[in-house]
A and B are shown apart, each in its own frame.
Chain A
């Protein structure tokens, strides 16, 4: 049990409340003919009860501090990189998005040299295009290069 479980439990409890309200709106039906909201309602109630138990235990038991976060800036940058790739994929196309992603991870996150990061990015983007799009026919978006 970690101290953060107190607010995690609270967030889960709020979420379960929302699920229960939505499930009632969907319709619980009857025992003979359960409606669309029946199962999510049951799961929501279960999650709610468990969340309350978690909050209670996190206060009662000797909760420790969660393990420290190392390199949060790196983690954030990696996440932003994949998010950026996702948002740009259809517009820029696979090759350019992959090129940018690999270059960003190597140059900005890993602080590798310009020539190395650009070289690897070009190689990886090209090779993955050949393997996935041409060979495995994955139909990756062409984006602005296609038009």
Chain B
């Protein structure tokens, strides 16, 4: 099936009344989640996941993808109006978006964020549509060593690009790897670290862990802090950017979209890092870099386009290789498995209806979000005014219901509570939860491929470096581990010379 044929087939699925309803529900909920600080897309998707078990896989995936998309759009609203990022990828939007709003230019800031997101989202969907099937056909030639090395590379990249200490990020990745081995060993059927607990027999579920690490811990952190939410009271006008705004923003949107897509394809980068890089790039290229941070429209257009492009590009490794680029993709990957589909290079050919249906729904979601978002901004502003003291009990209750209804088991809720505290402590002591989640997801696949590769090679580790692709992946992994050390040495030498 070629791209055009596939896309038309996808539209025939996505444009049915039922699936349009699912897209609408997804993007609306997503925007709401994006607007509300304290509940991110990971927790929201986990929460909604059990309710999709009754629907067919295509409709379910369409809704969950729409939700993810919606959060990227909605996140900018709080960044611009309240200086609080609705979700992490919108942190950068606060820098100039809020300043624009303070200068009475909230309308153009919100407008360019929405249009930029729409343009970037559409460009990225085209990229996804063309790249994913190609990558999947290449991946069919991958053996166990390549898969193992690719996953090692993803994990080291996540640790390299984490905000804090790389050592701590590596530690949390190792912890995630240990946690991923809990349960039944797939080869020998030996029970590992289960302590006669039925809940642990099938391993630690990704959804309760993500809800705990990202949902409950966020609430605990916010309850401990005093949240000052100052929402701008002025009337929002001129949502359509002026000709000058467009002139200033067109190149940043184009560059943001391209950068976001390229970086989003690399497993492990997610959406947060690309937005920071995009902002930095615009500042460097700008004729007036000092204006950045004071309310310049380029500072909103570039990161907002970038995060939407990256969000779409994150689907490339997930749909073509079965490798999640971030915790959200890990949950979607888990969802595919729950729906009885096997993620990996064969997904696109064996379940072309799902692939093309999701792709087409992304186009639909982009248009829907653009139409929905701008007129609904006053509504989102009203929702933003709901005090956090009322919001967080709801968020907690939703997390509790979500984790329970996965398997109708209290054990999952207990796991979520434990990881809620773990996540809270991790953030307090500056340990990043993302490498842990990625290791927990990739762990079983890594173990499987490592053992298979060793079995086939007769126990020779050379198989990982004698195969060119595998060696290249490992080289990147080693480089990403050595680069920080090199940086420290260079900095020390520079200081000595000074």
Give residues in A with beta carbon < 8 Å to B: 1-2, 4-5, 8, 12, 16, 19, 22, 26-27, 30-40, 43-44, 46-47, 50-51, 53-54, 57, 66-67, 69-72, 74-75, 78-79, 81-83, 85-87, 89-90, 94, 98, 101-102, 105-106, 109-110, 112, 120, 124, 128, 132, 136-141
Interface of A is mostly: helix
Cβ-defined partner of B451 (8 Å) among A12, A38, A66, A94: A38
Question: Which residues of chain B in 417-446 are interfacial with respect to chain A, using CB atoms and an 8 Å cutoff?
Answer: 417, 420-421, 424, 428-430, 443, 446
Q: Which residues of A contact B170 (CB under 8 A)?
A: 46, 50
Separation of A132 and B296 alpha carbons in the complex (Å): 44
Assess whether B410 is interfacial by the CB under 8 Å rule: yes
A-B complex: 3 closest residue pairs judged by Cβ atoms: A31-B459, A32-B459, A136-B51
Q: Which residues of A contact B460 (CB under 8 A)?
A: 31
Q: Are B455 and A32 in contact (CB under 8 A)?
A: yes
Could you say which interface size class chain B belongs to? 35 or more
For the complex with contacts A78-B392, A138-B401, 13 further pairs of A-B residues with Cβ separation under 8 Å are A2-B430, A26-B185, A31-B460, A31-B461, A33-B455, A46-B170, A47-B175, A69-B428, A78-B223, A85-B400, A86-B414, A124-B397, A140-B405
Assess whether B476 is interfacial by the CB under 8 Å rule: no
Q: What's the nearest-Cβ distance from chain B to residue A137, in Å?
A: 6
Q: Which residues of A contact B446 (CB under 8 A)?
A: 39
Q: A34-B450, A47-B174, A124-B394 are in contact. Are A79 and B389 (CB under 8 A)?
A: no
Separation of A124 and B398 alpha carbons in the complex (Å): 11
Separation of A120 and B394 alpha carbons in the complex (Å): 10
Q: Are A89 and B413 in contact (CB under 8 A)?
A: yes
Q: What's the nearest-Cβ distance from chain A to residue B454, in Å?
A: 6
Cβ-defined partner of A137 (8 Å) among B54, B417, B430: B54
Interface of B is mostly: helix
Most buried by A among B175, B178, B394, B429: B178
Q: A69-B224, A101-B396 are in contact. Are A82 and B178 (CB under 8 A)?
A: no
Q: Are B417 and A79 in contact (CB under 8 A)?
A: yes
Q: Are A75 and B220 in contact (CB under 8 A)?
A: yes
Q: What's the nearest-Cβ distance from chain B to residue A130, in Å?
A: 12
Q: Are B192 and A72 in contact (CB under 8 A)?
A: no
Q: What's the nearest-Cβ distance from chain B to residue A124, in Å?
A: 6
